[in-house]
Amino acid sequence: MEALLAAIDRAAFSATRVVTLTLSPDDAGRARAQIASLGKILEERSDDDGVITLRAELLVEDAARFAPLEPLPEELRPAAE
């Protein structure tokens, strides 16, 4: 029951980010499986060389592992306390 409540809390109250990722043929299978287990794959394409391009929705902290976050523009940064 605790695991279910934690999953519901995580889904309902955590910020997500949609990222586009390019996976090389060398690590595409492992990385794709990891991304799918952490979030939701929205779109997937592969080319003739085995390179996979994914659009995925991940929690912000998980997305940062695969695609570094862009810094916020100065006007959008929270004020220092």
Q: What is the pTM of this model?
A: 0.63
SS3 string, the chain, reads: CHHHHHHHHHHHHCCEEEEEEEECCCCHHHHHHHHHHHCEEEEEEECCCCCEEEEEEEEHHHHHHHCCCCCCCHHHCCCCC
Enter the tokens of residue 15: 């910020």
Mean pLDDT in residue range 19-41: 90
**pLDDT tens-digit profile of 39-70?**
999 999 999 998 999 999 988 888 888 876 55
At 77, is the pLDDT very low, low, confident or very high (cuts 50, 70, 90)?
very low
Percent residues over pLDDT 70 in the chain: 77
Question: Does residue 26 or residue 75 have the better pLDDT?
Answer: 26
